[in-house]
Amino acid sequence: MAAARPALGRVLPGSSMLFLCDMQEKFRHVVYFRQIVSVAARMLKVARLLSVPTVLTEQYPQGLGPTVPELGAQGLQPYSKTCFSMVPAVQQELDARPQLRSVLLCGVETQACILQTALDLLDRGLQVHVVVDACTSRSQVDRLVALSRLRQSGAFLSTSEGLIFQLVGDATHPQFKEIQKLVKEPSPDSGLLGLFQDQNPLFR
C-alpha cells in the first residue's frame, strides 16, 4: 500500500479562516508589535476582498484593553477570552464551517496564545499556517523556540505575502489588482532574518 501523502498546505479562500489573536493596547510594548499589526492589517484587508471569514479575540480586555485601532478590525465583534487558546472562545465559528481546512494565524504572543491555538486547531485535524511576519513575543528567544515548536507539531510557517498569493491564486482574479496594491510594499522588518540566519539549528 502506498504511503499516505503528506499535507501540502494549500490555502484556498473557500476553505480557510483568518484568526487575529489578542492585538491589544497593553501589548504595545511587545517587540515588533507595530510591525506585526501592520502585516495582520494587510491580511485582514485581503481576507475581506476574498470573503475569507475572520475571527478576532481579546485576552482579558478588562485588564489588557481593546484591540488596537490600526489593525482595522472595527467591523469585527471581538471574542473575549481568558483561556490562552482562541479555540474555546470561537468554537461556534469553527463548528459552523464544516468545509474549513486551513486557519491562518496572526497575533501575540507566539509562545503562548499562538502556540496553544495552533495545537488545538491541529488536534481538530485542521491545517495551521502561522503568519510568521504577523506574530511576535516579548522575548525573541520565546518567539524563536515557539516557531520551531509549531513546526515540529505540524504547523506551516508562512509569510503574509506567500499566503496572500496562495489565496488569490491567479493574476486574472477579479480582486488581483486591489491585492497587488496591498503587496506592492514589502512587509516591515520584524526581526525574522535574525532568527533564521546562519542556518539556525532549530530550523534544520
Residues acting as catalytic residues:
22, 81, 113
- Cβ(155)–Cβ(122) under 8 Å? yes
> How large is the angle between the packed helices 176-183 and 160-168, nearest 10 degrees?
170
* Residues 52/181, Cβ–Cβ less than 8 Å: no
Comparing C-alpha atoms, which of 173, 155, 109, 163 is closest to residue 136?
Answer: 109
